[in-house]
Amino acid sequence: MTILLTSIPPCRRDEHFEKNIAFQKQCIQSWIATGHKPISLNCERELVAVASAFPEVEFHPAYRTTEPINGRPLVFISDLISLGLAQSRPRMAICNADVFFDPPIPFADTISNDLPLIYSHRIDLESLGTAATGKVFYGIDYVNVTETFASGLPDSNFAMGLPWWDYWLPLEALRESHRPVSLLWNRSPLLKHLIHGDRWDPAALVYLGQHLLNLQTKGFDKDAANLYAIHNEWTKITTETSSNHVYPATVFACIARALCSYIQDNSYSHDFQRR
């Protein structure tokens, strides 16, 4: 099976607890049905809750998170990739925890290792059991890469739950002259997602957008994996007055839309229903 790397958050014990547990189980079962072995990286204080709730998943402790930077224990993409490389598998996938494959066709083990990177956008749902809104979210929620491609990636400061990592990976493929492949079912993304409120922090959009541009123009960022440097720059952006940082956040939102179009225009598509 292809390993699927993610970070499953604990469900809040509120009136939606049982429903949220059931939804997360639906996501996990779809990953397994499509030929993936789910592996989740979590901070140590989350491990007991998530491991007992989701026994189908292999959990590993994260020894660093973004918590000293933004107060949230989000795991770094580079640490997920390192965990994936330690499994010694020909391919690995990175996937957001709140999406499921629909239909759950068993595709993962059929992907040729001649394809360095495949990915999927998602379609949003108002609620389970309802028809898809038809609105495609043009962030990327699932990326599947070869071990060779993953081992050549530079260190980065991207993290699950924060922007830009999803664009960074296909952009790295394109920078290396590898054309990504977008997965579809009947001309639509293979992933579904329940709509929830946006949680983006303008400071994350600006700081990590600058980080992405550094990686794309130089091939590296001297502050990658340096938590002290990340914290200083993040704090500087966060503590600027609102009037000073709304403009750069708007600029980076425009850059994100342009990069999404660039990735799509330079990708092949594979439609499982129309092949």
Sign of the Cα torsion 167, 168, 171, 173 reads negative
Structure tokens at 264: 């799509």
Is residue 118 a contact partner of residue 127, using CB atoms and an 8 Å limit?
no
User: What is the reported pTM?
Assistant: 0.90
Which CATH number fits the domain that encloses residue 168?
3.90.550
**Where would I find the beta strands (DSSP E) of the chain?**
2-6, 36-43, 58-62, 91-95, 99-101, 117-125, 132-146, 181-185, 188-189, 191-194, 268-271
The string of pLDDT tens digits covering residues 80-89 is 999 999 999 9
Beta bridge partners of 184: 189, 271
Residues 6 or more apart from 78 whose CB is under 8 A from it? 153, 155, 156, 158, 224, 225
Amino acid identity of 212?
L
Whole-angstrom distance, CA of residue 65 vs CA of residue 36: 25
State the total domains in the chain: 1
Structural domain for 155, as ranges: 2-271
Helix axes 227-238, 202-218, angle to 10 degrees: 130
| Of 76, 78, 69, the residue nearest 7 (C-alpha) | 76
Is residue 174 a contact partner of residue 113, using CB atoms and an 8 Å limit?
no
The string of pLDDT tens digits covering residues 155-199 is 999 999 999 999 999 999 999 999 999 999 999 999 999 886 666
pLDDT of 242 > 50? The answer is no
Lowest model confidence (mean pLDDT) among 25-34, 55-64, 99-108, 208-217: 208-217
Using alpha carbons only, what angle is made at residue 205 by residues 47 and 119, rounded to the nearest 5 degrees?
65
Helix axes 202-218, 242-265, angle to 10 degrees: 50
